[in-house]
Amino acid sequence: MIYTITSTLPPSHGGRTQALLRRIKLIDEEFNIPTKILTTNYNRNYPNIYQTFLEDHKVTKNIEFENIYEWLTNYKIYDVPKTKVFNKPKYNKIPKRISGLKAKKNTQNHEIHYYQDNQLVRYRKYFNNNSIVHYEDIISPETGLKTKRSEYNSYGYLHRIIYYFENSTKKSQEMMYYPNGEMYCERHFKDNKKNSVNLVKLLKDGNVYQTFSNDKAFAQYYFEHKFKDGDIVFSDARLLDDPLLAQSHQTRNILVLHSSHLSGTQIKKSFKYAFEHKEHVEKFIVLTQQQKVDIQDMYPIPDKQFAVIPHFIETNKSVDNENVEDRFVFIGRFSKEKQLDHLLKAYIEFLKSGHQTKLALYGRDEDNQKAMMQDIIDANHLNNQVSIHKYTSSPLAEFKKSKASLLTSSYEGFGLTIMESISMGCPVISYDVRYGPNEIIDHAKNGYLVEANNINQLANYMTQIIEQPLTNVENNEKLYYSTAVKHYKQLLEELKAI
């Protein structure tokens, strides 16, 4: 059996999830070997996500999914009470009126704010305009922060309660329930920066039958019950390397490295366990030859334990560049390592050349970077030139209508967005950092490589690409789907899977 383990499968996702889904689909379609994907986070909406992936052709019908909580409850978390006579789903409706509280409704957003003495004390979000509650927050009138959240399924049955530390947005405790109201799992959290778990309890009939000191121990318990000797397991999340390598079965473990293992010159803590327990790893899949060399400079891992398999993309299709807008684009996470302040500072320098090319930024905010960017935009009166957008589910369309895409990361895993941009005929101007940009970008042909952190050089290349546009922009053949098929054929042959 082939498994892929990952911490989460978000419906809107970035490079890691996109890459693992492409790999799984390729292995099934090309070699008729389906994969079962295991996840370890809590998401009551997984059945809908699985269906969406299938409808969007991100997976084949042969691919199976399982979440740790689905396994733990034998899928009973999806049970729905039925009516006695017609055996139809029985909805649990909660009255919208609450005695002693004044309700302020927003029917457009299906929400109600509840007030006591003009203080907000409760908030409800409904699935629609009927009385099926999606979630309810109890709010402290002193701080305005929620102290408790109760979450319900689409039939109105409680599935989780979350408590929060006083005067904090951090969780203190959460409890998961079957639709019949029985609690089956309880989790406790530390009041630290990471808000990490320090106790997991499993319950049956109201009694605790198993406890774990953290989520990794819980995941290991899952893997102990799930795997058997000889199973091939791809691990795409460093969080799960520890429980995978520590479980007792003789599985054939394939660790896929989607990002840099370095923070400056030091090994990231999340990678150390895998490198220090290399005897339990069948293969490390790295995206570039340079990363393989850098790892071997620090750890005595032989060549036979590595496979260099870059992310891949479909062969360049004919791209119509007639509707390209006069703009630059960035698509990715709004996180600190993306150094988006560099991008904005370079854009400010670029504007001094007299060009009016605009800048569009697409992404999901992390580390409060959106506020940082907005401060720079406001301070430099750039609101008419720079636009900030939410994460886009159609990145190819945005690349296609842009003059160039920009990347100012302090490090990269491989840069799937670089490949996507080039595939749409949109050249990339990127800092030359480990890993990926210099293995994807052919300087002055499909983009420009910029000395890391050299803002002025970045601005100069932005000017150059507007004044002297690159033509016939395309990816290197080594990044094509057909090349990836050859790589995975060799890997599966070595694993004796084909």
pLDDT tens for 50-94 read 999 999 999 999 999 999 999 999 999 999 999 988 899 999 999
Q: Is the peptide bond before 273 cis (omega within 30 degrees of 0)?
A: no
Average pLDDT in the 246-250 region?
Answer: 98
For the segment 95-150, what is each residue's pLDDT rounded down to a tens digit? 999 999 999 999 889 999 999 999 999 999 999 878 899 999 999 999 999 999 99
The helix/strand/coil state of 452 is coil
Q: At what angle do helices 369-379 and 340-351 cross, to 10 degrees?
A: 20
- State the CB neighbour count (10 A cutoff) for residue 86: 8
Measured between alpha carbons, how far is 420 from 475 in angstroms, rounded to an integer?
Answer: 9
Whether 320 has a pLDDT exceeding 80, the answer reads no
Q: The domain 2-75+216-308 is classified under which CATH number: 3.40.50.720, 3.10.450.50, 3.40.50.2000, 3.40.50.300?
A: 3.40.50.2000
pLDDT of residue 323: 86
CATH topology of domain 327-476: Rossmann fold (3.40.50)
For the segment 211-220, what is each residue's pLDDT rounded down to a tens digit? 999 999 999 9
Which two structure tokens, joined as six digits, stand for 374? 């907005």
DSSP label of 48:
H
* Every domain of the chain and the residues it spans: 2-75+216-308, 102-214, 327-476
pLDDT-derived band of residue 415, with 50, 70 and 90 as boundaries?
Answer: confident
Whether 414 has a pLDDT exceeding 80, the answer reads no
Whether 295 has a pLDDT exceeding 80, the answer reads yes
Q: Tell me whether domains 2-75+216-308 and 327-476 share a fold.
A: yes
Q: The domain 102-214 is classified under which CATH number: 3.40.50.720, 3.90.930.1, 2.60.40.10, 1.10.10.10?
A: 3.90.930.1
Measured between alpha carbons, how far is 235 from 243 in angstroms, rounded to an integer?
Answer: 11
**What is the amino acid identity at position 103?**
A
pLDDT of residue 316: 58
